[in-house]
Every structure is written in structure tokens, then in C-alpha cells.
Amino acid sequence: MAVGTVLQCPTLKFELLIQLVKTMALPSLAQARQSAVRALALAVLVGLPFLFIPLAQSQTYQVIHKFAYADGYHPSSTVVMDAGGKLYGTTYQGGSADRGTVFRLARSGSGWILSTLYMFQGGADGAYPAAGIIFGPDGALYGTTSQGGDPSCGDCGTVFRLQPPASICGSISCPWTKTAIHLFGGTLQGFDGRVPVGDIAFDRAGNLYGAASRGGQYDDGMVYQLTRSGNNWTETVVHSFTNMFGYPQAGVTIGSNGNLYGTVQFAVGANFGAIYQLAPSGMSWTLEDLYHFQQGGGGYPRAGMIFDAAGNLYGATTSFGDNGGGTAFELSPVNGGWSYSVLYSFVGNNGGPDATLTFDQSGNLYGTTGADGAHQLGSVFKLTHNGGAWSYASLYDFQDAGVAAYPQSNVLIDSSGNLYGTFSRGWTPYLCPDGCGGVWEITP
């Protein structure tokens, strides 16, 4: 268990002490208490009258599934939960054709049982799902594959729908029925997108939105809409990015006003990326550049964004924060414009959050870092809002690259306050070159 600190002091000695305590690896609460005592003693030695260090709440971390290549490899995306408490997600590789899988985890006594719902075969079937899956208005699962799809395009990707078998299945792993609702065509077919790696979203009318990192009119990425009519889906290109402003790695967030919000990796005048808004205007959409990331304020965002009840946007960047890692940020509407503020700068080497942050019921933020934490192998963290400031606490620091490392998923919180996510590397090195990865749970 890591120790977080919210106290600041103007002296250099104090700041050095804070950094020393924050980077300690503390796997147990007892060790955390011992470290706090050592920190107090050290404070006296360096001439500080006192030091207050609040300990992170005691948490229990456990791995609930270890992938073994045949059932998946390299999970790196969002996980979701149904009303019955079952977890769903994707693995980028593994399965019968090594093109990725969709999985489900269900509780069984004190453990969990994994069911492989689908194994991608490549080609027109799709391959390498980089984004997570979501439940659609009809209760089916929807997602994307970053490659495969239309043979004339090569590896442009797909959007798929996954539904359970029509009849009762008696085995543990019963394949679901997958339908490709869109095959991306890239620049070969009407300036369509290719390589969709961000999460997708449904609006209130049941339209599906997403972003492709490449393709579009200028091959710099695009935002698309899929509209359903019976069993058919029709794609509309919402916006094609240009080489002046493009390369989205995240999906889009739908505001209450119907506007779409997202990030791009590159924008002229701000090589660290930007935040954009797309607003419907008649039969078209109008792009507005809301903010350009700057050195120290974060850069190269891969995570999606979320709204709070007041209409503020929250997101994360992977790198270029003040402390070497990425940042967690807030973008607030102010007098017709937007105000950007950094909530926290992560310590590390380009290891900031890759996945969307998560709010709990108290307004605290949770997330993962891919290569941050006490051992630079990733962490699960909590940002607590108190009196206008945000304090950081590490809930778990990954410790061994051969066991579990590099979480790239979001944090899912269930109704009991349990946290869930995936780590992309570690375990079974003989089957997976750098470990197959797994699914973790943290209980309060």
C-alpha cells in the first residue's frame, strides 16, 4: 500500500522528503505505518518540526484471472459489468487465431470463471480489438476491432455486435453470435476511417459514435456515426481531421447538449495534442478547438473524457506533465470559453493514464497508469477532491513485470465499492513473449 501526501512546504528539504515517501513501495498497511514513523524521524533529522502524512485506505488486491494465450493475451481496454455482476472485456491478442477475444468473468463461490464469448479470426471477421466493449440499448455487446474488415482495404477494422446464443448452452464457454455492423474502408471507399482504437458510445436515440485514428479524407483520422434501421446500419462521416489537427487515439464523449468531445494527438502550434468539440449544425457538424496541450500541462492523450454533474470535463494525458509522467486534468466552461487546470501530475517516464478516468459516488476519481507507480510498472490510483484541491493516493503499485504489470484499462467500480481492471503483461511467459496479462480486483 502506497503512502500519499497532501501537505506542501516551501523548503527544498521538505519537498525532497515528500518525494521519498511517495515513491516507497509499501505492500501492506503495517509497512505503511512503519514508513510513516521513519518519515517522522527523518523529518526531525532534516530540521522539520513535524510532518503529517495521511495513509491511503487499506485495500486488498488480488488477481481474479490469469490469461493463458488460448483464452486471451494482452488485455488493454475498458471492462464493463452487467446487472448480475459479470465482467466483460476484450484481449488484443490470443484465442484460436491469435487475433483477440471477447471474454466474460462470472463469480463462482470465492472465485471467478472465465467464458470466452468470441475469438476473432482476422480478415473480414476482424482482428485485434484495441477498444473495450459496451452494452447497447438492445442489451447486446458492441465494440470495434482495430484491424481486419473489408478485403479491399486490408486492415482497416470493424464495428461489431455480439449477442448470446438463442438456446441454452450447457458448457462453460459458449460462443456468442457476432455480426459485423460496419467494415471500415479507409481512403479507398468514400474517405472512411481505419484503425479504430478508441471506445465507442451511444446517444439517447440509439446512434453509435466513435473515432478512427487514421483514414478520413486526409488519412489523419475521423469521427463517425452509425445509425440503425432494422438490421442495417448506415455510416455518416461526422468529421475528417487534417494533418493540421488530427490522429485521435480516444473515442468521443457525448454531452447532454448532443455535442461530441474528444482529443487528438497532434495540432499545429501544440505538438502535444488538443481537445475538440463537434457540434451538430443542420446536416453537418462544426469543429471547435477547445484547448491545446502545452509542456508541463500534459500531452498525447489516449484516454477518453467524462463529465461531472456541473458540466466540467475530466481526462488524462500520457506524458509531459511537470513530474515526468502524464496528468489528470479538468476543462471547465467559463464565460463562453473553457478553462484548463491540471489536477495531478504523475511521476514517471511517459507512464500517465491510457484509459478513461472513473468517478465514484463521492466525486473522487480513479484510474490506472501504464508505467508509473513506485516500480514504474503501473499503478491503480485515487484522486480525492477536498476544498478545491486534489490529493493523490496509490491503491496498488504493480511490483514484478514477470507477474503482473502495465495496466492500460479503466477502473470499474461496482455497487459494493470493489474496483476492477486489467493488466496487460505478466504471467505464463512460455506462451506469451512478455506475459499474457490478467484481471485484477481491489476490495475495500
Q: Tell me the pLDDT tens digit for each residue of 134-175.
A: 999 999 999 999 999 988 887 899 999 999 887 776 666 677
Q: What pLDDT, on the 0 to 100 scale, is given for residue 312?
A: 97
d(C-alpha 290, C-alpha 283), whole Å: 22
Longest CA–CA separation in the chain, Å:
73
Q: What pLDDT, on the 0 to 100 scale, is given for residue 173?
A: 63
Q: Where are the domains of the chain?
A: 1-58, 60-443
Between 160 and 185, whose confidence is greater?
Answer: 160
pLDDT greater than 70 at residue 35: no
Q: What pLDDT, on the 0 to 100 scale, is given for residue 22?
A: 37
188-203: average pLDDT:
90
Q: What pLDDT, on the 0 to 100 scale, is given for residue 14?
A: 31
| Residues ≥6 apart with Cβ < 8 Å to 382 | 56, 364, 365, 366, 392, 393, 395
Q: Tell me the pLDDT tens digit for each residue of 98-113.
A: 999 999 999 999 999 9
From residue 104, alpha-carbon distances to 16, 78, 112, 441 in Å are 45, 13, 10, 15
d(C-alpha 313, C-alpha 294), whole Å: 18
Q: What pLDDT, on the 0 to 100 scale, is given for residue 189?
A: 66
| Residues ≥6 apart with Cβ < 8 Å to 416 | none
Helix axes 12-22, 29-45, angle to 10 degrees: 160
Amino acid of residue 401: A
Between 58 and 378, whose confidence is greater?
Answer: 378
d(C-alpha 230, C-alpha 233), whole Å: 8
pLDDT greater than 90 at residue 49: no
Read off the pLDDT band of 8 (50, 70, 90).
Answer: very low
Q: What pLDDT, on the 0 to 100 scale, is given for residue 209?
A: 98
Q: What pLDDT, on the 0 to 100 scale, is given for residue 269?
A: 78
Q: What pLDDT, on the 0 to 100 scale, is given for residue 188?
A: 61
d(C-alpha 181, C-alpha 32), whole Å: 51
With CA atoms as reference, report the closest residue to 249 among 149, 337, 310, 326.
326
| Residues ≥6 apart with Cβ < 8 Å to 168 | none
Q: Tell me the pLDDT tens digit for each residue of 201-246.
A: 999 999 999 999 999 999 999 999 999 999 999 999 999 999 889 9
Put residue 311 in one of left, alpha, beta given phi > 0 → left and psi -120 to 50 → alpha.
left
Query: What is the average pLDDT value for the chain, to the nearest integer?
Result: 85
- Written out in words, the top-level CATH class of the domain with range 60-443 is mainly beta
**Helix (H) or strand (E) segment spanning residue 30:** helix 29-45
| Residues ≥6 apart with Cβ < 8 Å to 196 | 130, 131, 144, 145, 146, 157, 159, 184, 210, 211, 212, 213
Q: What pLDDT, on the 0 to 100 scale, is given for residue 42?
A: 34
Between 33 and 144, whose confidence is greater?
Answer: 144
Q: What pLDDT, on the 0 to 100 scale, is given for residue 350?
A: 64
d(C-alpha 26, C-alpha 378), whole Å: 14
Beta strands in 244-323 (DSSP E): 245-246, 253-254, 260-264, 266-267, 274-281, 284-292, 297-299, 306-307, 313-317, 319-321
d(C-alpha 295, C-alpha 243), whole Å: 21
Q: Tell me the pLDDT tens digit for each residue of 318-336.
A: 999 998 899 999 999 999 8
Q: What pLDDT, on the 0 to 100 scale, is given for residue 187?
A: 63
Q: What pLDDT, on the 0 to 100 scale, is given for residue 348?
A: 79
From residue 43, alpha-carbon distances to 2, 8, 17, 55, 177 in Å are 19, 13, 8, 17, 62
DSSP string for residues in 165-197: -SS---SS--PPEEEEEEE--GGGSTT-EE---
Q: What pLDDT, on the 0 to 100 scale, is given for residue 36?
A: 39
Q: What pLDDT, on the 0 to 100 scale, is given for residue 293?
A: 95
DSSP 8-state code for residue 3: B
pLDDT greater than 80 at residue 61: yes
Three-class SS state of 299: strand
d(C-alpha 272, C-alpha 310), whole Å: 27
From residue 353, alpha-carbon distances to 245, 314, 384 in Å are 22, 12, 16
d(C-alpha 157, C-alpha 212), whole Å: 9
State percent of the chain over pLDDT 70.
84
Three-class SS state of 29: helix
Within 10 A of 417 (CB to CB), how many other CB atoms are there?
11
CA 295 to chain centre: 22
State percent of the chain over pLDDT 90.
70
Read off the pLDDT band of 26 (50, 70, 90).
Answer: very low
pLDDT greater than 90 at residue 1: no
